[in-house]
Amino acid sequence: MAIIKTTEKDQTEFSSSMSELTEYFSQLSARKGRALTYNVLTYGCQLNESDSEKLSGMLSGMGLEETSGGELDDADVIVFNTCSVRENADRHLYGNLGVFKTLKKNDRDVIIAICGCMMKVPENVAKIKKSYPFVDLVFDPQQLHRFPMLLRDSLRTKKQLVNIAVDDYIAEDSYFPIERKRKFRALVPIMYGCNNFCTYCIVPYARGRERSRSFDEIVRELEELASKGYKEVMLLGQNVNSYKGEDGKTFADILRAASDIREFSRVRFMSSHPKDLSDEVIEIMATRPNVEKHLHLAMQSGSDKVLKDMNRPYTIARFLEIADTFRKKVEGGSLTTDIIVGFPGETEEDFQQTLDAVAKAKFDAAFTFQYSARPGTKAATYENQIPQDVVTERFGRLMEYTNRYAEESNGRLVGKTMEVLIEGISKAGDMTFSGRTITNHLVNFTIPEELGIDIGPDYLEGRLCEVRIDHARPYSVDGVLVSLKGE
């Protein structure tokens, strides 16, 4: 699979198709006598969220407005940015697509596009061609930067256009308009793809080989974000520690460059692979105040045999050693993980070893998943698949375990006053606000009226404050605002 850099010619074609589409939508809007809207539906991980911010940026650049209603079918251009990591992610798409058949019948101008990781699985593309002919455009994550060209071509031909790339592009983001979802937080991919081929995982097939963005380009983007007022950056990649920039630049260099930007209150990153995490990165986390004291390190299993079958090249002893180094060096830091239950061939003894490892690592939070066989991956062909009732039972036991340690971790914050970066009104509504500590603990808090603070969310979003924590829950803590920083 070739790795190709986008060229000046690509950029010129990008601009000309953006102009052509702007003209097209402006005429359509005049004909309909109303503003046109778009809805980008995002499934999956933060890399997909970041891609969706670019799709939204391009659609806004064509003169369309984002729908605010949240109704699935309430838009003139609908884009499904899909995920294929587990089977239930696939089901979301097919569950929703049926609705759009009638919609397309009633309004032939509505445009439906599907992109994202599911489109790299040939069975899905074949199914869309056969059963969903009303879908206008199908493309894959490597061709995000070609969205305007593909959309233009599908409008010209008025036929379903399916374009799945064989090449892995590096599309530098400088010519993408990006519509960032959060006013204070910017998602910044530093690398794309994955070379690890864990035997259960679809991502290397969906996202192609690892390719790193230019160091200088990333720093330029970070500086621009700081000048625009962003307070938090999230550096993204499937395996950020294997970043390879020009002149031997490493992930540690990026982390230092980002933390040198004083406007950033928080520098976060996701994800790290145990085989590549360096002591240098842990040292940076320990010593730089604006670098998060939170490490997400996927363990996947506590059994060496299962780890080997998963093609995860570390032993559980090595994993626990890294966990221990992190705990010792990054004082009060939090360690979170991903765990898969029911991988083919997992015995009760293997599973017990996972529970033992959880007890030793005492994860501050864990994302637990039931193994899902993904067509095209090696593990899907293994014969010793585990019956669903066994998986469900083990999953329940694991959750009990991980939740216990998560609640304990939250409990340790009770009585303390913590610095919190405010994210906005909490999901619970009722004038409760939410934010995160530098250890990534989720904090919901109230603001006492007597403090006389302007509680408009636009004013508070991205601000740092001190919160006294008075109650712990399994996934969050509650508290009361003590003071707003910088007042």
Burial of 369 (0-12, 13-18, 19+ CB in 10 A): middle
Query: Among 196, 353, 370, 402, which residue sits at the site for ligand SF4 (rule: CB under 6 A)?
Result: 196
Which residue's CB is nearer to ligand SF4, number 79 or number 366? Answer: 366
Q: Are strands 37-42 and 65-66 parallel, antiparallel or unpaired?
A: parallel
The closest of 410, 454, 411, 461 to 434, measured between CA atoms, is: 461
DSSP strand pairing (477-484 vs 464-472): antiparallel
Residue 204 near which of ligand SF4, ligand F3S, ligand SAM, none (CB within 5-8 Å, type-dependent): ligand SF4
Of the residues 203, 267, 297, 316, which one makes contact with ligand F3S according to CB under 6 A: 203
Among 93, 170, 202, 240, binds ligand F3S (CB under 6 A): 202
Residue 121 makes contact with ligand SF4 by CB under 6 A: no
Tokens of 118: 């599911």
What DSSP letter does each residue of 350-409 carry, written as one string? HHHHHHHHHHHH--SEEEEEE--PPTTSSGGG-S-PPPHHHHHHHHHHHHHHHHHHHHHH
Choice between 200 and 251, CB closer to ligand F3S: 200
Query: In the bound complex, what is the minimum distance in angstroms from residue 192's beta carbon to ligand SAM?
Result: 12
Q: Does 368 sit near ligand SF4 (CB under 6 A)?
A: no
Pairing of strands 37-42, 77-82: parallel
Give the helix/strand (H/E) hosting 215.
helix 215-227
SS3 content of the chain, % helix, strand, coil (to 5): 40, 20, 35
Q: Is 306 in the site for ligand SF4 (CB under 6 A)?
A: no
Residues 428, 441 contacting (CB under 8 angstroms):
no
Q: CA-CA distance, 177 to 38, in Å (whole number)?
A: 15
Footprint of ligand SAM on this chain (CB under 6 A)?
45, 85-86, 200-201, 203, 238-239, 271, 273, 298, 300, 338, 340, 369, 371-372, 374
**372 contacts which partner out of ligand SAM, ligand F3S, ligand SF4, none, CB within 5 to 8 A by kind?**
ligand SAM
Task: Please tell me whether residue 286 adopts helix, strand or coil conformation.
Answer: helix
Q: CB neighbours (10 Å) of residue 446?
A: 16
Which of these segments, 95-103, 172-180, 194-202, 314-322, binds ligand SF4 (CB under 6 A)? 194-202
- Give residues 202-221 in contact with ligand SF4 (rule: CB under 6 A): 203-204
CB of 140 to ligand SF4, least distance (A): 16
Q: Considering the complex, what minimum distance in angstroms separates the CB of residue 324 from ligand SAM?
A: 19
Q: Any contact of residue 85 with ligand F3S (CB under 6 A)? A: yes
Residues 6+ apart with CB under 8 A from 418: 437, 441, 443, 466, 467, 469, 479
Candidates 75-83, 131-139, 198-206, 339-347: pick the segment binding ligand SF4 (CB under 6 A): 198-206
**Side chain identity at 99, as an amino acid letter?**
V
Size of the site for ligand SF4 (CB under 6 A): 10
Scan residues 222-241 and list those touching ligand SF4 (CB under 6 A).
Answer: 238-239
Q: What are phi and psi of 31, to 5 degrees?
A: -65, -40
Q: Which does 206 bind (CB under 5 to 8 A by kind): ligand F3S, ligand SAM, ligand SF4, none?
A: ligand F3S
Minimum separation from the CB atom of position 193 to ligand F3S (A)? 9
Closest CA to 417 of 437, 434, 435: 437
Contact segment (CB under 6 A) with ligand F3S among 4-12, 170-178, 200-208, 342-350 equals 200-208
Distance CA 144, CA 171 (A): 8
Among 58, 83, 234, 240, binds ligand F3S (CB under 6 A): 83
Specify the residue, 155 or 270, whose C-beta has the smaller distance to ligand F3S. 270
CA–CA separation, 207 and 117 (whole Å): 7
The whole-angstrom distance between residue 58's C-alpha and the CA centroid of its chain comes to 19
Beta strand segments in 144-227, E? 161-163, 168-170, 185-189, 191-192, 211-212
Which residue number, 219 or 340, has a Cβ lying nearer to ligand F3S? 340
* Residue 355 interacts with which of ligand F3S, ligand SF4, ligand SAM, none, CB < 5 to 8 Å by class: none
Q: Which does 469 bind (CB under 5 to 8 A by kind): ligand SF4, ligand F3S, ligand SAM, none?
A: none
Question: Is residue 271 within the footprint of ligand F3S (CB under 6 A)?
Answer: no
Q: Which residues would be at the binding site for ligand F3S (CB under 6 A)? A: 44-45, 47-48, 83-85, 117, 202-203, 206-207
Binding interface with ligand SF4 (CB under 6 A)? 194, 196-198, 201, 203-204, 238-239, 273
